[in-house]
Amino acid sequence: MSVPSSAVGTAQIGVTGLAVMGRNLARNFARHGYTVALHNRTFARTQSLVAEHAADGTFVPSESMADFVASLARPRKVVIMVQAGAATDAVIDELVPLLEEGDIVVDAGNAHFPDTIRREAALRERGLHFVGTGVSGGEEGALNGPSIMPGGTAESYASLGPILEAISAKVDGVPCCTHVGPDGAGHFVKMVHNGIEYADMQLIAEAYDLLRHGLGASAPEIGEVFAAWNTGDLESYLIEVTAEVLAHTDAATGAPFVDVVADAAEQKGTGRWTVQNGLDLGVPITGIAEATFARALSGSAPQRAAARGVLPADTLEWNVPEPGAFIEDVRLALYASKVVAYSQGFDQIAAASAQYGWDIDRGAMARIWRGGCIIRAKFLDRITQAYERDANLPLLLADPYFTAAVANGVAAWRRIVAAAAVHGVPTPAFSSSLAYYDGVRADRLPANLIQAQRDFFGAHTYRRTDRDGTFHTDWSGDRAEQTW
Ligand code: ATR
């Protein structure tokens, strides 16, 4: 089958890769009035999309990549929605020889940002634009409005941006899509979004675990607590989902659903990438790292089997005389920990932006995460406002709004982390967030001792508090100080 001549050059956007995400993005474009060229390696998927969803708008299906390209208006805009990695490279290799200067290739998959940097450079050499684009919101978001994070050139955004903004989620009429920055910036920001999502989910899970142990509460009872929290500062999609999941009853057993779900959390790898990059850039993203490691620990079956019932606990018995006060303490600890996790994630974006020359507007990132994506929340408005007050804010936690918000909860946060420790409830994200908070606000850290040790065994030198310069003490000799 080839494209009818009347359809040549008519499609405003094309999608290749019509599995669930690609299919829903294509339908979303069509519903917004765009003529959408369709292609998939296996033509049956293309045919079924047209057969089932013709009512969404105008589709131009093609069996061959050449026909697909021919059906697009210039400059052509092709969205690739296949698995990250080899499949993306295979599609690019097939597509690129058919394109002409100025055409725009959009990778909307979950690519690792170094791959996006590589592909952008390769396509730029051929006069093509390559736009690595983060898309968040899953299947539902792809169809009804995702959060979209496009990288690539400003020039490509000028023609592509309006189409992406049209299909994105809207909050207060503002699209959840903006140009993030050059080459890999879009996929980078999507990666950090996912890392923050890991941290947020871990914090919520720790809050649930504390309520379960501290109050002996059932899953549905805790679900009610989360539903109540969703009406305040914590209002977010993830809290809403938590309340719903906790309220759900397993049809097979009649037990609370979460009680029959195995306690081993999986991951697809974006959390791992985020942590690896945090290490590369030297940014302490402890909340995201603890969340990623907590998933790994949950899945460490042999280690858990070897430890269960064997490692001494020596914990105190829970005795919570005022459940209402305890619930409020957990809420405040959750909120404060969440502020830390987001602050760390935005630090990582700032560090990467400086390192890779991306010039990312952090306030705009918070703005496009307010809708469509998994971490969507009212809270993100506060982050946007903080960066509007100071675009170069060195630490989100130090913005007056967040400083005040944490001040209100810091005593509760300490009570909860202390209670978790003496009662033996693992709270890696709550605890590490508090440790980060105390570390970053400290007048003086014990790093003085570490640097002195390094000088002792490795002559790594040190600086002094009382005068400029670099020094070394002759530890193995007369211990006289030398200036280096
Ligand atoms: P699902 O999301 O349903 O699990 P998938 O196996 O992840 O689907 O595949 C996602 C998309 O990538 C599909 O459109 C797939 O094409 P097919 O329908 O022909 O399987 C596409 N895809 C995967 N590898 C590809 C490749 N090497 N070249 C072109 N398209 C590819």
Q: What is the number of alpha carbons within 13 Å of residue 302 lying toward its C-beta? A: 0
Tens-digit pLDDT profile for residues 47-61: 999 999 999 999 999
Q: In this structure, which residue's CA is closest to atom 16 in ligand 1?
A: 41
6 falls in which pLDDT band (50, 70, 90)?
confident
Distance in angstroms (rounded) separating the CA atoms of residues 416 and 318: 12
Q: What integer pLDDT is reported at residue 7 of this predicted model?
A: 86
Q: In this structure, which residue's CA is closest to atom 18 in ligand 1?
A: 42
Q: Which atom of ligand 1 is nearest to the CA of 42?
A: 19
Q: What integer pLDDT is reported at residue 3 of this predicted model?
A: 81
Tens-digit pLDDT profile for residues 255-269: 999 999 999 999 888
pLDDT at 1 over 70: no
pLDDT, mean over the chain: 97
Least Cα distance to 403 among 437, 378, 430 occurs for 437
Measure 186 CA to ligand 1 centroid, in angstroms.
Answer: 22
Instruction: Tell me the backbone φ, ψ of residue 39, rounded to 5 degrees.
Output: -155, 145
Instruction: Kindly give the pairing relationship between strand 77-80 and strand 13-16.
Output: parallel
Distance in angstroms (rounded) separating the CA atoms of residues 97 and 403: 54
Measure 17 CA to ligand 1 centroid, in angstroms.
Answer: 6
Distance in angstroms (rounded) separating the CA atoms of residues 219 and 297: 23
Measure 20 CA to ligand 1 centroid, in angstroms.
Answer: 10
Token pair of 62, please?
Answer: 């093609």
Q: What integer pLDDT is reported at residue 4 of this predicted model?
A: 85
**Is 197 an active-site residue?**
yes
pLDDT at 404 over 60: yes
Whether the CB-CB separation of 114 and 86 falls below 8 Å is answered with no
Query: Which SS3 state, helix, strand or coil, does residue 1 take?
Result: coil
Q: Which one of the listed residues 77, 120, 165, 197 is annotated catalytic? A: 197
pTM above 0.85, yes or no: yes
Tens-digit pLDDT profile for residues 152-162: 999 999 999 99
Q: Which one of the listed residues 190, 206, 290, 338 is annotated catalytic? A: 190
Tens-digit pLDDT profile for residues 271-320: 999 999 999 999 999 999 999 999 999 999 999 999 999 999 999 999 99
pLDDT at 108 over 90: yes
Probe residue for ligand 1, chosen from 20, 40, 68 as the CB with the greatest number of ligand atoms within 8 Å: 40
**Is 190 an active-site residue?**
yes
pLDDT at 208 over 80: yes
Distance in angstroms (rounded) separating the CA atoms of residues 78 and 68: 9
Give the Å distances, CA to CA, from 135 to 112, 115, 164, 265: 13, 16, 10, 23
Q: What integer pLDDT is reported at residue 336 of this predicted model?
A: 98
Residues with CB under 6 A from ligand 1: 17-20, 22, 40-42, 45, 82-83, 87, 90-91
Q: In this structure, which residue's CA is closest to atom 2 in ligand 1?
A: 19
Q: How many CB atoms lie within 10 A of CB 322?
A: 9
Q: What is the number of alpha carbons within 13 Å of residue 432 lying toward its C-beta? A: 21
Q: In this structure, which residue's CA is closest to atom 8 in ligand 1?
A: 19
Measure 112 CA to ligand 1 centroid, in angstroms.
Answer: 18
